[in-house]
Amino acid sequence: MEQKTKLKTRLKEGEKVQGADIVCECLLRHGVRTIFGYPGGANIPIYDALYKYPELHHILVRHEQGAAHAAEGYAWANGIPGICFATSGPGATNLVTGLADAMLDSVPLVCITGQVPSPLLGTDAFQETDVLGVTLAVTKHNYLVTKAEDIAPSLYEAFYLASHGRPGPVLVDITKDAQTAYAEFHIPLPKKHLEGRVRLQATPKEVEKIVSMLNSAVRPLIIAGHGMLLSGDGKTLLQIAEKQDIPVTLTQLGLSTIPSTHRLFMGMPGMHGNVAANRAPNEADVILAVGMRFHDRVTGNVAKYAQQAKIIHIDIDPSELGKNVKPTLGVVGDAKMVLEQILPKLSKRRNPQWLKRFHQWKREETEKVYKKELHAPHLKSAQVIAEISRQTKNKATIVADVGQNQMYAARYYTFNDYNTHITSGGLGTMGFALPAGMGVKSADSNREVWIVIGDGGIQMTIQELATIVQEKLEVKIALLNNNFLGMVRQWQELFYKGNYSEVKLKNPNFQKLCDGFGIPSLKAKTFKETREAISKARKKRGPFLVEFVVEAEENVFPMIPAGAGIADMIVSPKDK
């Protein structure tokens, strides 16, 4: 993506410069403004060149994993690739978790790592790791560059691949001698075989088939996922839903594609999803699945999933069609573009009977779950999230970590605005939220960012509090402290006879920790304190952490036990 606004490029076509300069020039020309990174021996020439490019704002993280997650948050908020720098060996291996996370959640990243000088490759030199080999499994593609003249072509391809088709992380490993050698700077020509690869639109025949299946459906259901969110906006999806009165469910990574308050929004399917969203697939006659991948956390046991339904599956990645669930009709294309193709051809209709069913399910969940959670006499995580939602008028961006806190965030925040829910869905990486939230804020300072995280997760990347302070990033952190690895404890309580094996945490004093980092904080133990603390956190400029002391042994319900069918959902503890 070339920047449209005026930009002060440094290099002229054909100018002879060092490889490291070419790296910076390519980033600049791709519209990069922010880099998350960490220097070391093998990428020091790139850092030297960076000195000449003040418009490339570098954020010095405290651990390379933080750089990768921050870049993910940045990409998620901005829709363009997030950039990471790391040195060879340990620098590069520290990126691996973040790359794996980005790979599973289709987040575009371009990571540039330094590598030992090419004559030393393969000699087990100081800080040499076979980064190409190590990251093969966790990148969409990767490059080893040993010559300065190959830097620009590799980076152009990396940007192209990261952001086209199904997005993903791309890593470019550049040897130190390639960074220091001189080469002519040339803008590379586009590679033909890369460009022809992505199919965006459905054929007229496919469009006709989708339309006829939907027009004749009696109990239609839409399940939209991250692909829908990534394809630009949720408007077309809503238009289709409204025109045909189709209930819409959004997977965890699809949340915030349409407002949670919309009358046709029926919640999130999945292990801790909503009753309606989980029951509907087994009663629908036609399912329109767009930009989602029938993940095992969504379907439960696939053999017991939507057996009676005709499934239309639209995805930009051809290999997703038929991978987990065999569709009646599989269509390769961009979620929004294909929906735009079918919208004008759909007939108008109403489904009052079918929608009634959803309202029954919703009532059931309200009675059995919501009321209990939200009106409990002692502080529960659900209340904390619902209160954040209320005070932020449903307009904050929620960056959730992993575990119970993540499920509470997804279930109890009311998402009003498009693309305001970010989490680690596919990999479930504890420690994601703190650096990712930092990345979101640095991408878009207008957002009110709330990081929701557990006492376990925050300690996985807690060092990034220092980055937040150094960069003056105004993020608000909701630490849900239950003094347990809550989600694992829940499994042990429900499925392992209550044997709490290694889940109890003796935690540090989080207030003192915050003091040490220079972040103001508060502790809330009651709902009243919660209300006040959130309000204070929002009023105070700069970062703020609130530690909510929530019920130690609370459980997230509903729950579909791992491996069970969606019909075996436990709605509330009594069902078990």
Partner 1 sequence: MAKNLSTIIIWSENTPGVFFRILWLFRRKMFNIETATVGYTEIPNVTRFTITVSGNGDQVANMCKQVAKLVNVLRVEKVADEKLISRELALAKIQIKGKGEKGEILKIIEHFRAKVLHMTKDTFLVEVTGGEEKIDAFYENMKEYRIIEFVRTGRTALFK
Ligand X SMILES: Cc1ncc(C[n+]2csc(CCOP(=O)(O)OP(=O)(O)O)c2C)c(N)n1
For 347, what's the count of Cα atoms within 13 Å in the CB-facing half-sphere? 10
Is the Cβ of residue 168 or residue 270 nearer to partner 1 in the bound state? 168
Q: Which does 405 bind (CB under 5 to 8 A by kind): partner 1, ligand X, none?
A: ligand X
Residue span 154-193 as binding mask against partner 1, x where in contact by CB under 8 A, dash where not: ---x---x-------------------------------x
Cis peptide before 269 (omega within 30 of 0): no
Is the Cβ of residue 313 or residue 476 nearer to partner 1 in the bound state? 313
In the complex, what is the shortest distance from the CB of residue 493 to ligand X, in angstroms, rounded to a whole number?
Answer: 12
Q: What is the DSSP letter of 216?
A: T
Q: Which does 487 bind (CB under 5 to 8 A by kind): ligand X, partner 1, none?
A: ligand X
In the complex, what is the shortest distance from the CB of residue 145 to partner 1, in angstroms, rounded to a whole number?
Answer: 12
Using left for φ > 0, alpha for ψ between -120 and 50, and beta otherwise, residue 79 falls in left
In whole angstroms, what is the distance from residue 19 CA to residue 150 CA? 9
- β-strands 182-184, 16-18 pairing: antiparallel
Among 103, 385, 485, 514, binds ligand X (CB under 6 A): 485
Residue span 348-387 as binding mask against partner 1, x where in contact by CB under 8 A, dash where not: ----------------------------------------
Q: Amino acid letter at 404? A: Q
Closest CA to 63 of 96, 34, 30: 96
Q: Does residue 98 touch ligand X according to CB under 6 A?
A: no
Is the Cβ of residue 264 or residue 388 nearer to ligand X in the bound state? 388
- Let me know if 491 is exposed, middle or buried by CB neighbors in 10 A (0-12, 13-18, 19+): middle
Q: Does residue 472 touch partner 1 according to CB under 8 A?
A: no
User: Is 127 a known active-site residue?
Assistant: yes
Q: Are 138 and 96 contacting, i.e. CB atoms less than 8 angstroms apart?
A: yes
User: Is 126 a known active-site residue?
Assistant: yes
- Let me know if 298 is exposed, middle or buried by CB neighbors in 10 A (0-12, 13-18, 19+): buried
Catalytic option among 16, 126, 356, 495: 126
Q: Which does 455 bind (CB under 5 to 8 A by kind): partner 1, ligand X, none?
A: ligand X
In the complex, what is the shortest distance from the CB of residue 503 to partner 1, in angstroms, rounded to a whole number?
Answer: 32
Residue span 418-447 as binding mask against ligand X, x where in contact by CB under 6 A, dash where not: ----------xxx-----------------
Q: Are 210 and 199 contacting, i.e. CB atoms less than 8 angstroms apart?
A: no
Q: Does residue 125 touch partner 1 according to CB under 8 A?
A: no
In whole angstroms, what is the distance from residue 91 CA to residue 61 CA? 12
Is the Cβ of residue 10 or residue 141 nearer to partner 1 in the bound state? 141
In whole angstroms, what is the distance from residue 231 CA to residue 428 CA? 23
Q: Which does 488 bind (CB under 5 to 8 A by kind): partner 1, ligand X, none?
A: ligand X
Q: Are 291 and 297 contacting, i.e. CB atoms less than 8 angstroms apart?
A: no
In whole angstroms, what is the distance from residue 214 CA to residue 91 CA? 51
Q: Which does 141 bind (CB under 5 to 8 A by kind): partner 1, ligand X, none?
A: partner 1
Q: Are 252 and 274 contacting, i.e. CB atoms less than 8 angstroms apart?
A: no
Catalytic option among 487, 490, 554, 559: 487
Q: Which does 39 bind (CB under 5 to 8 A by kind): ligand X, partner 1, none?
A: none
In whole angstroms, what is the distance from residue 302 CA to residue 435 CA? 34
Give the range of 252-260, 353-361, 410-418, 479-487 binding ligand X by CB under 6 A: 479-487
Q: Does residue 319 touch partner 1 according to CB under 8 A?
A: yes
In the complex, what is the shortest distance from the CB of residue 323 to partner 1, in angstroms, rounded to a whole number?
Answer: 6
Catalytic option among 64, 72, 206, 365: 64
Strands of 396-448 (E only): list them. Answer: 397-400, 421-423
How far separated are the first and last CA of the chain, in Å rounded?
53
Is the Cβ of residue 44 or residue 570 nearer to ligand X in the bound state? 570
In the complex, what is the shortest distance from the CB of residue 556 to partner 1, in angstroms, rounded to a whole number?
Answer: 32
Q: Residue 360: CB partners within 8 Å, gap ≥ 6?
A: none
Element (H, E) at 159: helix 151-163
Q: Does residue 405 touch ligand X according to CB under 6 A?
A: yes
Q: Does residue 137 touch partner 1 according to CB under 8 A?
A: yes
For residues 189-248, which are near partner 1 according to CB under 8 A?
Answer: 193-194
User: Is 266 a known active-site residue?
Assistant: no
Q: Does residue 149 touch partner 1 according to CB under 8 A?
A: no
Q: Are 281 and 377 contacting, i.e. CB atoms less than 8 angstroms apart?
A: no
Give the range of 9-17, 187-195, 286-294, 403-411 binding ligand X by CB under 6 A: 403-411
Sheet of 521-524, strands arranged across: 421-423, 397-400, 449-454, 475-481, 544-549, 521-524
SS3 assignment, position 23: helix
Among 60, 121, 125, 132, binds partner 1 (CB under 8 A): 132
Is the Cβ of residue 480 or residue 514 nearer to ligand X in the bound state? 480
Element (H, E) at 82: strand 82-86
Residue span 449-478 as binding mask against ligand X, x where in contact by CB under 6 A, dash where not: -----xxxx---------------------
Question: What value, to the nearest 5°, has the Cα angle with vertex 561 and ends 492 and 220?
Answer: 155
SS3 assignment, position 97: helix
In whole angstroms, what is the distance from residue 41 CA to residue 126 CA? 10
Instruction: Give residues in contact with ligand X (CB under 6 A).
Output: 402-405, 428-430, 454-457, 480, 482, 484-488
Chain residues that interact with partner 1, rule: CB under 8 A: 132-133, 136-137, 140-141, 144, 157, 161, 193-194, 317-319, 321-323, 326
Catalytic machinery residues: 64, 126-127, 176, 487
